[in-house]
Amino acid sequence: MTESTTPSSPEENLTSDRSAKTRQLLGMKGAQPGETNLWKIRLQLMKPITWIPLIWGVVCGAASSGNYTWTIENVLIAAACMLLSGPLLAGYTQTINDFYDRELDAINEPYRPIPSGAISIPQVITQIVVLLGAGIALAYGLDRWAGHEFPTITALAIGGSFLSYIYSAPPLKLKKNGWLGNYALGASYIALPWWAGHALFGDLNWTIVVLTLFYSLAGLGIAVVNDFKSVEGDRQLGLKSLPVMFGVTTAAWICVLMIDIFQSGVAAYLISIHQNLYAVLLILLIIPQITFQDMYFLRAPLENDVKYQASAQPFLVLGMLVTALALGHAGV
């Protein structure tokens, strides 16, 4: 007997089509080809979904400075720094990564703009140059506003852009190395925007630098989660991601342990500087992350990577803000 299936209604098809287009525009996994609007394709290359943690990092930096006040001028300047860290430099990073990953994407995500032929190589190169130039120019303007004798934010923008280049481009192509590449990615998403926000409203110091680099080791674990969607392509092209090197199950455990252990280490540091309430709040935010790791990621990392990130990462980024507020309160 043949099993009958109920055809989808027009409303369901429309909802599904809208969902696919939204995912495509945000640069998410599981998008579909077919977009012809060049500006939407450019936006897809910039992967807006990846801007969120960098924008949040600026918020954390402003909080950890202990000097942020809610004036219209400060709100506008903070928004400019978010524009720098998110759409401009994260957009540059994602575009240059897609440019150098076009062969890999042809295997793993052939619907992406470059392997699908939706945008030409000269158009991609133009986008890379414009985003980089605008980012560095805005960083210099922020340094002028802050009155920096040394252009700290400009230096961070140039250094972060160079790190993005060597992460994606040969001959170094840091992403070939599962440990080094993922740490570079984690630091770019946590430490760099945090430093920019802190330097904008306060004095960037070695305590903040070291602590956020330590926090970035938890970000390394988050970066590893992104490697599970491209195991087959990485293996074919010889990229040594952690799932390729250690296998899916072991890499999943490495990933969650790094996320949990290094956040716990930050909580211990907060206790050491007598910020006990903030430390307790951070620990309470780690617990649901562990719960979702067990529910989704450890049981089926290949199938549940996106579901795990959507469930657990809000608690991680809230923990970052708790830490930043603690540092600002302590005057670190």
Domain span at residue 61 reads 36-330
Confidence of residue 2 (pLDDT cuts 50, 70, 90): very low
- Do the beta carbons of residue 255 and residue 220 sit within 8 Å? no
Please say if the pLDDT value at position 13 is more than 60.
no
* Spatial separation of the C-alpha atoms in residues 87 and 63, rounded to whole Å: 21
CATH number at residue 318: 1.10.600
What is the arithmetic mean of pLDDT over 183-196?
Answer: 94
Q: Give this prediction's pTM.
A: 0.88
Q: Which residue has the tokens 């491209």?
A: 230
| DSSP-derived secondary structure for 112-167 | STTTTTSS-HHHHHHHHHHHHHHHHHHHHHHHHHHT-SS-HHHHHHHHHHHHHHHH
Instruction: Extract the tokens encoding 289.
Output: 């992350």
Position 19 in a domain: no
* Three-class DSSP category at 316: helix
Position 26 in a domain: no
Position 144 in a domain: yes
**pLDDT tens, residue by residue, 271-322:** 999 999 999 999 999 999 999 999 999 999 989 988 898 899 899 999 999 9
Position 134 in a domain: yes
Please say if the pLDDT value at position 202 is more than 70.
yes
Position 309 in a domain: yes
Position 200 in a domain: yes
Closest CA to 60 of 152, 182, 192, 188: 192
Higher-pLDDT residue of 208 and 176 is 208
- Do the beta carbons of residue 223 and residue 193 sit within 8 Å? no
pLDDT reported for residue 11: 54
Position 15 in a domain: no
Position 25 in a domain: no
The domain total for the chain is: 1
